[in-house]
Amino acid sequence: MESAPKILVIIPAYNEAPSIARVIDEIRASIPEADVVVINDASGDSTALVAKTKGVDVVSHVCNLGIGGAVQTGFRYAWEKEYDMAIQVDADGQHNPEDIPKLLMPIVNQEADVVIGSRYLEDRKYKTSFARRAGILLFSQFISATIHQRITDTTSGFRAINKRVIEFFSKEYPVDFPDAEALLLLGLLDFKIKEIPTTMRKRASGTSSTSILKEIYYPFKVSLSILATLLREKPLLRKEE
């Protein structure tokens, strides 16, 4: 009999002490067979301590690397520990862990290398600012045209990936505003991408780090990142034996 696949849930976290315990509990209830690692991105609160009391592994950064650096640390951890699949889940409670099995199913069935939990594939009344929504729509249209596949949510941080993508992301991952750039890179390298509809919840606690200035700056910064991705030489992938 084949052994069950090793599954890891990666939770990048920065000052999420009030919500992290609930997120871990919900993940365990939804997918008890999975391991959980919290990437504590130099939080100034008790995020790491709270996570450790829940009995999960915690990797702490000495200085804040931002979401891209935190997520890549999780992918490196997954690759070094030889996990077969990994799921990225936000620490603020906005992602619903009940959707995790749905994200994993296309990977288990070898229908996709990466599965995105999309807020826009169906109309689920998700609300965001006009500037950010316009930016996401623009990036979605551009990336869809570039990789010849319709993608509705290029900035979703709720994703499941297989072992090939774990290896790739452990070595190649954007640092700033990484989701759209990483998705474009995967499409250019012919990884199989699939979206499933998910519902975004309200933050369990705290406030978003996004300000009005950041909302205005966001489309320009992501556009530059996408342009840089298109101009760079494609990284070499290790050929499967």
Predicted structure pTM score: 0.84
Q: How would you write 190-220 as a 3-class SS string?
A: CCCEEEEECCCCCCCCCCCCCCHHHHHHHHH
Residues 158-183 pLDDT 10s = 999 999 999 999 998 877 667 888 88
Domains and CATH numbers, the chain: 7-231 (3.90.550.10)
How far out from the chain centre does Cα 112 lie?
A: 16
pLDDT tens-place string over residues 76-135: 999 999 999 999 999 999 999 999 999 999 999 999 999 999 988 876 666 666 566 666
In angstroms, rounded to a whole number, what is the distance separating the alpha carbons of residues 194 and 241? 25
What are the start-end ranges of the E strands in 89-165?
114-118, 159-162
Angle, helix 17-30 to helix 100-108, in steps of 10 degrees: 50
